Amino acid sequence: MSLSSALKNVSRKPCELRLRAELAEALAVAGAIEEATAVWQATAMAAAGRGEFFVALALGRRFLDDGRLRHLLVELGSRFGANRPRLGPLMPAPAFDGPELDVPDDPDEQVFLALKLGTDIEKITLPKFGRMPAIPIFEELPDEDVIALCNEIEAVILHDGLRLLEQGSSERKVYLLVQGYVRATSRRDDDTEAVWGVRSGPSLLGEMSLLTESPRRTTLTAMGPGIAWRLDAERVIALGRERPALIDRIRQLVKQNLLDDLLSSSKVLSSLPDKAAVVSAFALRTLPNDAVVVAQGSAPPGLFFILHGRAEVWRADALGTSAMVTELTEGDAFGTLSLLTGEATTANVVMPEGGVVLHLPADAWATMKETAPALDAGLAELAEVRRGVLEHFLAESAVEIIEGDDLAWVVADGRASQGAKMPPQTRTVS
């Protein structure tokens, strides 16, 4: 595209970030590299100021040097992090048309005009007090942790059939789905497929890998075009050695998401009038492979809810021969019988691949019965009910896949249909 055409487009549609990106590209083609960089920076800042967190980050990672990128990340931290404005309604980004532009013929004058027009973003961004959309994980991090995390994520362009997470895999990846849909499925023991539903952006996928090394419980497959950001859990944990508060905050956010899922899906907990108070009495435990959570014949260990993983219930007869009684999965409770009767446990409960459980110790039960009688009543009626995977899924029939990707221009070479990813940056902005 010629610089003249790009100028006219931005003048007519000043709020269109893609047109501003085309103006920066046209400046670069014309050899005006410094001016192009300034327009790229302004476009990224405009994206941040319009609530487009990931567009801003992608543009910054591609086109800005360390100093300019640092400036952008500080802006993202202030607008989207823990110290962001939280009061008032979400404000829509400005949207208006501009006048037709009479572009001069002189190339130098065109470059000057492009720099002026491309860096004038005040009217197309929200004021500093404007409340922005909540971005998973980032929304509760202080500014410096936002900057640190932005250096660790990598953009992935989705296409139909691209697998993000594989059932049974121990790969520790977390995805922030920005745009598009993914289908969640799993293979049953009889090799048939269970379809759990569909997740849509923006949402967090695979967050359990921040808590446990247990294999993935589901396969997540893209349904058409989209964009996600990939986070290596091992890198986040390593980063946490340098910034201990960061990994603690992220884990707390993930734990809270799991608890919210459990509160809404558990047959027992969903009926409680004061669910949050009840759950606060539970401890969150991450268990290794082959963990024996309950040993047959032991004193009542308390009440357990499975947040992630599966548990096998084994019972030994008088001769010591063991047989598996049942299998439990996410949302199931165990330990109820011994807790209610006060008698010794009647079975072993083992988690072969490890997992994450919510645990209420037996000595806390007496107090809990006083404060939450509904929990006592619910447990008395509780059978071991399989609840399925704890995710907020849409019905697959309710999803309409729109061909074409509005954010494909953010990544190089228009490779959205090929499942390509944005090249990782080697620099680290601190």
Residues 6 or more apart whose CB falls under 8 angstroms from that of 387 comprise: 265, 266, 267, 329, 330, 331, 332
In the chain, domain spans: 3-134, 136-262+389-430, 267-380
Contact 148, 246 (CB under 8 A): yes
Q: What CATH architecture does domain 267-380 belong to?
A: Sandwich (2.60)
Residues 6 or more apart whose CB falls under 8 angstroms from that of 368 comprise: 278, 281, 360, 375, 376
Q: What CATH architecture does domain 136-262+389-430 belong to?
A: Sandwich (2.60)
Same fold, 136-262+389-430 and 267-380: yes
Cα(106)–Cα(332) distance, integer angstroms: 73
Mind listing the pLDDT tens digit of every residue in the chain (430 residues)?
899 999 999 999 999 999 999 999 999 999 999 999 999 999 999 999 999 998 999 999 999 999 999 999 999 999 999 888 888 778 889 999 999 999 999 999 999 999 999 999 999 999 988 888 888 778 878 888 888 888 888 888 899 999 998 988 888 888 888 888 999 888 877 788 877 778 887 777 887 777 677 777 789 999 998 889 898 877 777 777 777 776 676 766 666 666 666 666 565 566 666 666 666 677 888 888 899 999 999 998 988 988 888 899 898 877 778 888 888 887 788 887 787 778 888 889 999 988 888 888 888 776 776 666 656 555 554 433 323 333 344 445 544 554 444 666 776 543 332 333 333 333 444 4
